[in-house]
Structure 1
Amino acid sequence: MDVDAVLLSRFQFAWVVAFHILLPAFTVGLSCFIATLEFNWWVTKRDVYRRLSAFWLKVFAVSFGMGVVSGIVMPFQFGTNWSRFSDLTANVVGPLMGYEVLTAFFLESAFLGVLLFGRKLVPQWAHVMSACFVAAGTIISSFWILAVNSWMQTPAGYTRLPDGRFEVTSFFDAIFTPSFPYRLGHTVSAFLVTAGFVILGVGAMYMLQKRAQEESRVMLKMSLIFLIIMVPVQMVIGDSHGLNTLKHQPAKLAAMEGLWESGTRVPANLFSIPDQEAERNRFEISIPVLGSLYLTHDPNGYVRGLKDFPREDRPNVAVVFFAFHIMVGIALLMFAMVLSGIVLFARGKLETSTRWLRCATWCMPLGFIAVIAGWTTTEAGRQPWTVYGLLRTRDSVTPSLTAADVGLSWLLYVLAYLVIFGAGFILLRRIVRVGPAEVSHAHESAQLEPKSRAARPLSAVSAGSGAGAVESSDDIVPPRA
């Protein structure tokens, strides 16, 4: 394998995106959970919802900040490493990315300030609405980003100019491409499930530690009820997405299944080691006919194999195959975990089942792993194209770029991300170790005590509140005796 600027640019982009996608995978679902908590507190007046909201708001603020910092890197890569892609697709990609900033990021940023600092400064209904607007902003952001990605996967609403540039003929068609509804539904539901498993795991951890019992019960109950609905829904949407991929990106689907020969009644490849050079699978374990059944919903359905496509138009089969199977395996494990939890909950044994609570704690990272695996399936399966079937990856990279240039910048990105995410993880772990009751107490104390702070002029308060989402360690850790 030749290590050139194209390959290193792909690795660098994968490194940056893989870390960045972990943040929206968490914050989209978490913002919706916080909005639900705020609404429940407004309606029921149960203080446990307020305490939980204050706790998860701290987690959200840190995660949101990490997402902003890591996301800033993304546009730089388009200019430094992928200038040809940026030049040729600017008329399509540029406006959609701009709409994301105008309609989503500004909405999130504006109302996040009210959500973090306005509990005692605005009416309760306004605080609830702020939580809803922040949640809406995260979903709108996903809408535009996935619209860009879907256009790259199944381009529509464009024409090619003589110089190779893409010109938009219909923004509606460019946004709502054939794969967009399925990709949006599948990705956003995956984000919601990811956050749900984190909330479930934190609740289970506190229950095991005999801490924050009331908060733990609420987290376990709310997340379980949500997940028992959302995990099957996400799997159904994924199945529809697979049918769409079969129609519009058959080479990707063949790589996902490790299928080399076209035909009907194809088997379901449970495990194998794809050999791309020999065009065959080694150590294959498969179930006859099942592949056609779930890929086409017809046991006699026809599926195209990889040999139908020129070698230069095939993705890396092993990467796509294993990423897809990891994603599917985790989805099944998630469903089994949630189903067993519902059974225990119905029998009244959930809080006393040490084994299940411990497993729920261990399952917290599952959603993140599944999201990374799904993203790898989508992006690696599109290769060797940046715009599927129209613009090759090797023709998208900056012409003057050298392997040494990319290697140096990648090293700097690695060091920067290790610092950013390492510090963020330490802070998040500290918040979780403190617990919801203590975080809520410290948050309320920061807003209500001391009186001298309330007596300061509004300009002074405004100037001080801009320092960040967490003004001091007292916002997180209760004061020592």
Structure 2
Amino acid sequence: MFGLTALELARIQFGFTISFHIIFPAITIGLASYLVVLEGLWLWRQEAVYRDLYHFWSKIFAVNFAMGVVSGLVMAYQFGTNWSYFSAFAGSITGPLLTYEVLTAFFLEAGFLGVMLFGWNKVGPGLHFFATIMVAIGTLISATWILASNSWMQTPQGYEVIGGRVVPVDWLKVIFNPSFPYRLAHMTIAAYLATALFVGASGAWHLLRGRATPAVRTMLSMAMWMVLIVAPIQILVGDQHGLNTLKYQPAKIAAVEGHWENVPGESVQLTLFGVPDMTVETTRYAIEIPYLGSLILTHDINGHIPGLKEFAPEDRPNSTVVFWTFRLMVGLGLLMLLLGVWSLYLRWRGGLYGSRLFLRFATLMGPAGLVAILAGWLTTEIGRQPWIVYGVMRTKDAVSNHSALALSTTLIVFIVVYFAVFGTGISYMLKLVAMGPQPFDDHPPQDKGQSLRPARPLSAAPDDIDPSVDLSGH
């Protein structure tokens, strides 16, 4: 297909399916915690606006959660079908980590999800709030195990290779590998940011249409506070993550920066824009700022990072791709910071809900968090190449023995099915968002016919039956 090899098609197929999947857990993580905050504020203040927002976003959470579960099942199967040699080699580590995710996180979420979604009028407020908290904790535990597995593939430790297979010798080192804390923090904050932008865009969209209800205004206000607080934290965490990556995956940083070699006596320049050419080994049309690369990448104005030419050609990531995916992520992050600061200024001036230019910007930024997550994921995974387990197993040695025709066919099927199924789900979720929050009645009136129908067969009988009365009518 299109002159691509089986390896390239397998990578594209995995990238396509996981790109669909990753957006759903990100929103699930953020919305679950948001629902905890909303229900907590409702129980504390007893203000109807928080209750209405809770029920509005819980419906969207349910649809998103379902799509996340369905899309996640495909990922597990692909390890066995398309990447069987990787599973045979490293399954003793990745298998248990993914199993722990199911046993701890998924069961916890599934166990309390029903209470959370359907138990508002059926259990006490304390128990219902506890169920919401458990679901939120479950999403975070799920992210922890998934990122532990992925981080081990990026910075493996705590293992030995025995008989051509990876054998864990220290599970604490396997789980808490060098990049794990940074990846967990970076991804969790990214999920919160993406959700805040999604919620904020919803509020801004309704305000632009004149629906300035208390729930809509509260929705926008809470989202903008979240963006303002979390965006700067994400920048700091990203900086620390970059230092960690420079230490353990220097080739990735060199590719991200389009940096080919160090000039004696000169600091590293920061390349704002350019086109890295892997064949000629240079970055064309580069726009550079002297010294800033050293300062940002090493926190030392005279610091250096390894150039791509210091690595063998077969060990170099594709700089042409990761150079731009990284800049897309960073550029969107700066726009998020701008959105948060702008909202603070408008809040101070009393115009947060009335500035149409700001509301349009907030609406356009709705998908920015998810796009940034995808761009960051592409930077991380493509920047790891040519390794599937960094420095241990090459990607070309991990792929199954499938033909290009078979992988082309399944890729086409995946594309058609995914756009049909998840396109429908996303469309329905956006329709729910477009409806906006509505007042929620804690005790909705029952239909008259339903209220007269007995819950149990014998409950239809009156309590004061006189034995002398002939009920048959004779």
**Same fold by TM (over 0.5)?**
yes
Note if contact 2:216-2:437 (Cα within 8 Å) is conserved in structure 1.
no
Answering whether residue 331 of structure 2 is matched by residue 334 of structure 1, we say no
Deviations 1:233-253 (A, max 9, x none): 011000000000000000000
Match of 1:383 in 2: 385
Q: CA deviation at 1:213?
A: 1.4
Partner amino acid for 1:36? V
Q: CA deviation at 1:27?
A: 1.2
Match of 2:249 in 1: 249
Equivalence map 1:65-464=2 (5 Å) = 65-162=66-163, 164-211=164-211, 213-262=213-262, 265-398=267-400, 400-437=401-438, 440=440, 445=444, 449-450=446-447, 457=455
Give the SS at the match of 2:111: helix
> RMSD of aligned C-alpha atoms?
1.6
Runs of 5+ unmatched residues, structure 1 = 460-481
Give the SS at the match of 1:159: strand
Over 3 Å counting, the alpha-carbon distance change for 1:142 and 1:444 in structure 2 is: farther
For the residues of structure 1 that align with 2:297 and 2:448, how far apart are their CA atoms?
65
Partner amino acid for 1:42? L
Partner amino acid for 1:268? L
Q: CA deviation at 1:356?
A: 0.5
Partner amino acid for 1:382? R
For the residues of structure 2 that align with 1:283 and 1:16, how far apart are their CA atoms?
34
Note if contact 2:97-2:145 (Cα within 8 Å) is conserved in structure 1.
yes
Partner amino acid for 1:374? G
For the residues of structure 2 that align with 1:285 and 1:227, how far apart are their CA atoms?
30
Partner amino acid for 1:295? L
Note if contact 2:121-2:443 (Cα within 8 Å) is conserved in structure 1.
no
Q: CA deviation at 1:312?
A: 0.1
Partner amino acid for 1:231? A
Give the SS at the match of 1:351: coil
TM-score, scaled relative to structure 2: 0.93
Runs of 5+ unmatched residues, structure 2 = 458-474
Over 3 Å counting, the alpha-carbon distance change for 1:43 and 1:452 in structure 2 is: farther
Note if contact 1:212-1:435 (Cα within 8 Å) is conserved in structure 2.
no
Give the SS at the match of 1:437: coil
Over 3 Å counting, the alpha-carbon distance change for 1:18 and 1:308 in structure 2 is: same
TM-score, scaled relative to structure 1: 0.92
Which of the two has higher C-alpha Rg?
Answer: 2
Q: CA deviation at 1:458?
A: 8.7
Over 3 Å counting, the alpha-carbon distance change for 1:456 and 1:191 in structure 2 is: farther
Match of 1:47 in 2: 48
For the residues of structure 1 that align with 2:9 and 2:105, how far apart are their CA atoms?
32
Greater CA drift, 288-297 or 211-220: 211-220
For the residues of structure 1 that align with 2:29 and 2:277, how far apart are their CA atoms?
38
Q: CA deviation at 1:425?
A: 1.8
Note if contact 1:262-1:307 (Cα within 8 Å) is conserved in structure 2.
no
For the residues of structure 2 that align with 1:161 and 1:151, how far apart are their CA atoms?
18
Over 3 Å counting, the alpha-carbon distance change for 1:120 and 1:153 in structure 2 is: same
What is the aligned-residue identity percentage? 46
For the residues of structure 1 that align with 2:209 and 2:430, how far apart are their CA atoms?
15
For the residues of structure 2 that align with 1:89 and 1:195, how far apart are their CA atoms?
34
**Moved >2 Å (runs of 4+):** 448-459
Partner amino acid for 2:246? L
For the residues of structure 2 that align with 1:320 and 1:85, how far apart are their CA atoms?
24
Q: Between Structure 1 and Structure 2, how many residues are aligned?
A: 453
